[in-house]
Amino acid sequence: MFSTRGMIVLFVFALGALSAAFAPLSGLVVLTDGLLSAAVLLGAIGWGAWPAVWLGHARRPLAQQATLAAGLGLGVVSSIVLALGVAGMLTSAIAWGLIAIGGACGLSRVYFACRAPRATEVASAGGVARDAHHPGKRAGSWEVGFPLAALILLLVPASVAFFAATLPPGAVWNEEARGYDALEYHLQTPREYFQSGRITFLPHNVYASFPQQMEMLYLLLMHMAGGPYEAAIAAQLLHAMLGALAVVVLAAWAPEGVGAWVAALAFGSVPWIAYLGALAYVECGLLLYAALAGTMAIECVRFEKPAGWRLTATVGLCAGLAGGCKYTALVLIVVA
């Protein structure tokens, strides 16, 4: 019988094998540009690990803690990059320093978590209590077969998204004008910030006045990689990773067992996720925060007792960060 973690590991290897079979060179791209994207994501998890604790989520299941830490950390990192960029102080060394600090924060959180007593239930921030394990309970064929089937089905959109993300910007999706938005402003505005040495007003590009949270992450990648062209594919891979992370969020907060896989399959199989996820856009960041805010908002109203202020604050932060990705989220998520 496969455990959930075992099936996820199997999925990752299968994704790599499938991608390598159809496009062998894509694996080399992932091992280079993808490592930059992974470094940003892991550094962000470190930056968000302690804020998640301070907001009362220390006793949640690991998947919930990690995804929430990633969301909060990405917001923290974007804000720091914005402040440093406006001050003209963002450099390659400082960019890598931000990742290193995040890594140190994450390791310290892991250290203290390992020393703390292992809890079997969640009782934080008004959240739902969930058992981490069910000793003595044997999984039925349906409980094993459905997750395996879901992972196999999710291989298709995941392979499409990550393969397309390894191609140069502007190479795919004629219906999306070959990623016009990325070429016009999602990558163009950070490129101009990088080349000017600071974040400043761009009067010739109205889109530069839109919310810039994801663009700040792309700017960070440009400083880490050494230039706009060197970071272009890494930016696409980071966006695809956030789409995958949104799938994990929904699975982590769904009822345990088959329900979690139903949530992952229902969201992850939407063609638009893989279609836009392969581009250096902002939608996957918005969806990540929408998933975090929505799932925890449900917790706020699910129980008879009032939700704690920390859970409510977390919902508000995630909703606000969604608005930082795209202004339409101010209506679609914050107001809703």
Q: Could you read off the pLDDT of 78-110 as tens digits, one per residue?
A: 999 999 999 999 999 999 999 999 999 999 999
Whole-angstrom distance, CA of residue 282 vs CA of residue 275: 13
Q: Which of 10-24, 182-196, 303-317 has the lowest mean pLDDT?
A: 10-24
- 257 vs 238, higher pLDDT: 238
Q: How far lies 34's CA from each of 144, 170, 215, 229, in Å? A: 31, 18, 17, 14
Is residue 87 within 8 Å of 272, Cβ to Cβ? Answer: no
Q: Please, what is the angle between helix 92-115 and helix 213-225, to 10°?
A: 110
- Virtual torsion, Cα 227, 279, 316, 105, nearest 10 deg: -40
Q: Give per-residue pLDDT as tens, 246-256.
A: 999 999 998 87
Whole-angstrom distance, CA of residue 296 vs CA of residue 315: 6
pTM of the model: 0.88
Q: CB count, 10 Å around CB of 132?
A: 12
- The residue among 187, 184, 220 whose CA lies nearest residue 74 is 220
Average pLDDT of span 258-263: 86
Whole-angstrom distance, CA of residue 8 vs CA of residue 89: 40
- The residue among 200, 162, 202, 197 whose CA lies nearest residue 185 is 202
Mention every residue, 6+ apart, whose C-beta is less than 8 A from residue 48: 68, 69, 70, 71, 72, 73, 74, 75, 76
Q: How far lies 17's CA from each of 145, 158, 248, in Å? A: 21, 12, 21
Is residue 173 within 8 Å of 179, Cβ to Cβ? Answer: yes
Token readout for 151 is 């992972």
pLDDT for the residue 122: 44
Q: Give per-residue pLDDT as tens, 140-173.
A: 555 667 777 888 888 888 888 888 999 999 888 8
Is residue 333 within 8 Å of 323, Cβ to Cβ? Answer: yes
Residue 138 has pLDDT above 80, yes or no: no
pLDDT for the residue 134: 46
Instruction: Report the chain's mean pLDDT, rounded to a whole number.
Output: 86
pLDDT for the residue 123: 44
Domain residues of the chain, as ranges? 4-131+140-335
- Please report which confidence band the pLDDT of residue 175 belongs to, taking 50, 70 and 90 as the band edges: confident
Token readout for 25 is 């060179």
Q: How far is CA 270 from the centre of its chain?
A: 17
Most confident of 40-44, 111-115, 323-327: 40-44
- 281 vs 171, higher pLDDT: 281
Residue 283 has pLDDT above 60, yes or no: yes
For residue 269, the SS3 value is coil
- 13 vs 252, higher pLDDT: 252
Give the CA angle between residues 74, 326, 282 to the nearest 5°.
Answer: 60
Most confident of 25-29, 131-135, 255-259, 284-288: 284-288
pLDDT for the residue 128: 47
With a pLDDT cut of 90, the percent of the chain lying above it is 61
In one letter, which amino acid is 330? Answer: L
Residue 323 has pLDDT above 60, yes or no: yes
Residue 111 has pLDDT above 90, yes or no: yes
Residue 124 has pLDDT above 60, yes or no: no
Whole-angstrom distance, CA of residue 125 vs CA of residue 113: 18
Give the CA angle between residues 230, 236, 240 to the nearest 5°.
Answer: 150
Most confident of 114-118, 126-130, 216-220, 329-333: 216-220
**CA atoms within a 13 Å half-sphere pointing along the CA-CB vector of 45:** 19
Whole-angstrom distance, CA of residue 271 vs CA of residue 131: 33
Whole-angstrom distance, CA of residue 233 vs CA of residue 26: 11
pLDDT for the residue 182: 93
Mention every residue, 6+ apart, whose C-beta is less than 8 A from residue 304: none
Residue 320 has pLDDT above 90, yes or no: yes
Average pLDDT of span 189-214: 95
